[in-house]
Amino acid sequence: MALPCGRPRRLVRSGRGALLLGASLAIVCVDCVAAEEHVVNTRAARWVPMVLFIEPGDRVVWRGMEGHETEVLANMAPAGAMPWRSELDDEGFMVTFDQEGAYVYTCLTHMNAGMVGAIVVGGVPHNLAALEAAVTEIEIGRNFVQSLLQRLKREINRRLIP
């Protein structure tokens, strides 16, 4: 049974079907968005990848965190989303993203060196205008966040808009 959604599927046998011993095992598509885990790495004072596209329910794990921390920027996440902030050196820090939209984060230690990144959850984010408004509130590293948003929009156009 294949549904044309292009996402991995979690298949389970129903209890009743399993009892039928192969006569006709009932296999149902429970959900078409089985959670995936994505890795953001560090390379010098950069996040790799700088812009990451994921689906709701997916997890992001930050690696190579020695000397770094990850923290979502104020007002740069979808309304109602849980902000995150790791400790310094928190290798394997992990966030599960349930809310759709775009998130912009930094390593505060290296914000003035341009260590900013973005995560897009779901389709074309609904909060781009809010992100652009919030940029004006940033004092240190604003130009880096501005160029990140330009890159974010380019990648959205390339990846999400047919």
- Is the Cβ of residue 52 or residue 115 nearer to Cu ion in the bound state? 115
Q: Is 146 in the site for Cu ion (CB under 5 A)?
A: no
Q: Is 78 in the site for Cu ion (CB under 5 A)?
A: no
Q: Which of residues 104-133 bind Cu ion (CB under 5 A)?
A: 107, 109-110, 115
Residue choice 40, 68, 77, 119 for contact with Cu ion (CB under 5 A)? 68
Distances (CA, A) of 81 to 85, 88, 98, 145: 13, 22, 8, 20
Distances (CA, A) of 140 to 2, 77, 116, 117: 49, 18, 12, 15
- Is the Cβ of residue 62 or residue 97 nearer to Cu ion in the bound state? 62
Q: Which one of the spans 68-76, 83-91, 128-136, 138-146 is the region binding Cu ion (CB under 5 A)?
A: 68-76
Q: Is 73 in the site for Cu ion (CB under 5 A)?
A: no
- Kindly state the smallest distance separating residue 37's Cβ from Cu ion, in Å: 22
Q: How many CB atoms lie within 10 A of CB 158?
A: 8
Contact criterion met (CB below 8 Å) for 65 and 89: yes
- Kindly state the smallest distance separating residue 65's Cβ from Cu ion, in Å: 8
- Is the Cβ of residue 42 or residue 127 nearer to Cu ion in the bound state? 42
Size of the site for Cu ion (CB under 5 A): 5
Contact criterion met (CB below 8 Å) for 88 and 109: yes
Spatial distance between the Cα atoms of 9 and 28, rounded to a whole number of angstroms = 10
Please classify residue 140 by burial: count the beta carbons closer than 10 Å to its beta carbon, then call 0-12 exposed, 13-18 middle and 19+ buried. Answer: exposed
Q: How many CB atoms lie within 10 A of CB 46?
A: 16
- Is the Cβ of residue 117 or residue 125 nearer to Cu ion in the bound state? 117
Interface residues with Cu ion (CB under 5 A) are 68, 107, 109-110, 115
